[in-house]
Structure 1
């Protein structure tokens, strides 16, 4: 699936774009934007959950592994931060076109592109160095996530193919594997299911964003599914992916009945919302509801995984 329309602003125009306008912002807001703080936190949470569940299923104490926990969290956070900052550096031309990203420091020039690239590389190298003190398997999963996001998604597929969403989903889905593999090998039904849940979840979540920001993605020439194939195709695919989430919690029966019931209720609710999309008149409002539902869905699901495995419930 290819988008033949190339972005109107080429990568060679970055320095010009970033120097067009200086917008007054605080250093803190610039750094939060540069590191995509909300996205970063959303990706760190599954690492934590993966680590926690590995402790639970191996009957291992957190306090006895607190040093390993800190190394895993710090290392993975640095690697992910490096990838996100690289994305900001590489996509400054796209960000300059899109309203929601025009105030990023790479576009405003508040932080030079050379500095942004340096921050990205330093963060990445430090992250992998720290992770090497955990396990090779955890480091490998982190590398898969970094390589997929930086090379296969950001540099190769995002501007060319609607499959960019599928490719990008891999980078987010490996995060719980990093946490789990720091304790023991991730060839276990629980981390595998966490990977699948995150992989499938990211599709409708990202499609909802692409529908919300349709005009901006179209102006930037980004090959998102709604831009290339329209809203109806996007709605159908969202419904399919959301339905695929329905059976996955049942493979996590070891987390207990409470978790399965809550996860199933969440899945059924999302399926109902997806089906309603074929009858609504305001596609943008519907996309906004899907976005909000997807964010809360994941947050509730992963927090529940921790709650149901707390000692007080066992």
Structure 2
């Protein structure tokens, strides 16, 4: 990693070497004779990310349902969404395999170490995407289209393009991350009304402070690999301003679901309190000397905030 990096001042004009241009050494295992097993194939689907997305799909299904949930719609939507998300994570692993070799956190993944071949992961990603889209289309075409839009933004716009070229990549990736609850909502309503757009906006805004807090913790790794994450390029103070700004925008948008009559007063009170705490926490980041400790606190709370958002929707749906 070299000498310690002073995170307090990182000029935006600093020029970084593009690690993608370096000559990459082969992994410890030959791609011609991979040694991977089923666990390696599971690892490229990123089960944790998939489960988190399914939680949001179900929240969308729940808030969009009037009366009793149709279990066939629920099962098809959940399975189709899971496969589309897994498709994206496989293709993400395939595309990032060169720079993943440079990061401590990712250099032992199945592709950088050569336990799986790139072609097998690419084929797996494409196949999962096709099957998942067909399942979503069996529910309705709007849900399938939303799934494809999310997949495009995650794989092409985020992973292939902006993640390596601009600090705006978090906003681009936010489009993909905001799709799961909207897909769930569209599965039972077959429409994109104001409730759907509010849900989309909530998830879009939430992802900025969530992922920037995570990126602060991994700034050195991202800088080494050449990923253009805001903390690695512009520094922690700039990142804290972005985290706070998007948190302030997020909190009132979550309350719009009450204004639209989709949820009740329990949701309103709960999200109001959670939002106020979130803002205060991210303001405190400017007064904390340990920026990594702040980023860890903000990241953990963002997960609590999203989980409670989903639970309160389920508890207090009107």
TM-score of the aligned structures, taking structure 2 as reference length: 0.89
- Counterpart-to-counterpart distance in 2, 1:308 and 1:7: 49
- Counterpart-to-counterpart distance in 1, 2:311 and 2:197: 18
Matching of residue 186 in structure 1 with residue 191 in structure 2: yes
Distance 1:98 1:181, change over 3 A: same
Task: Name the counterpart of 1:219.
Answer: 224
Task: Name the counterpart of 2:290.
Answer: 282
Task: Name the counterpart of 2:58.
Answer: 48
RMSD: 2.4
Matching of residue 83 in structure 1 with residue 83 in structure 2: no
- 2:102–2:225 Cα contact (<8 Å) kept: yes
Structure 2 regions of 5+ residues with no counterpart?
A: 1-11
Distance 1:2 1:260, change over 3 A: farther
Q: C-alpha deviations, 1:35-73, integer Å up to 9, x for none? A: 111111111111111111111xxx2321xx211211111
Which SS does the other structure have where 1:294 is aligned?
A: helix
Distance 1:81 1:11, change over 3 A: farther
Which SS does the other structure have where 1:233 is aligned?
A: helix
Matching of residue 130 in structure 1 with residue 135 in structure 2: yes
Which SS does the other structure have where 1:278 is aligned?
A: helix
Range that drifts further, 86-95 or 184-193: 184-193
Structure 1 regions of 5+ residues with no counterpart?
A: none
State how 1:148-187 maps to structure 2 within 5 Å: 148-187=153-192
Matching of residue 201 in structure 1 with residue 206 in structure 2: yes
- 1:141–1:178 Cα contact (<8 Å) kept: yes
- Counterpart-to-counterpart distance in 2, 1:38 and 1:10: 31
Q: CA deviation at 1:188?
A: 2.4
- Counterpart-to-counterpart distance in 2, 1:120 and 1:3: 36
Task: Name the counterpart of 1:61.
Answer: 68
Q: CA deviation at 1:26?
A: 7.1
Which SS does the other structure have where 2:269 is aligned?
A: helix
- Counterpart-to-counterpart distance in 1, 2:27 and 2:228: 21
**Pairing partner for 2:307 from 287, 290, 299:** 299
Distance 1:84 1:152, change over 3 A: same
Equivalenced residue count is: 303
TM-score of the aligned structures, taking structure 1 as reference length: 0.90
Task: Name the counterpart of 1:143.
Answer: 148
- 1:145–1:171 Cα contact (<8 Å) kept: yes
Q: C-alpha deviations, 1:113-164, integer Å up to 9, x for none? A: 1111111011011111111111111111111100101110111110000000
Q: C-alpha deviations, 1:2-46, integer Å up to 9, x for none? A: 985353144984x82474799998743x34421111111111111
- 2:140–2:190 Cα contact (<8 Å) kept: no
- 1:79–1:124 Cα contact (<8 Å) kept: yes
- 2:77–2:139 Cα contact (<8 Å) kept: yes
Q: C-alpha deviations, 1:265-302, integer Å up to 9, x for none? A: 11111111111111111001110111111111111111
- Counterpart-to-counterpart distance in 1, 2:68 and 2:14: 51
Q: CA deviation at 1:251?
A: 1.1
- Counterpart-to-counterpart distance in 2, 1:2 and 1:41: 39
- Counterpart-to-counterpart distance in 1, 2:87 and 2:254: 32
- 1:6–1:159 Cα contact (<8 Å) kept: no
Matching of residue 264 in structure 1 with residue 275 in structure 2: no
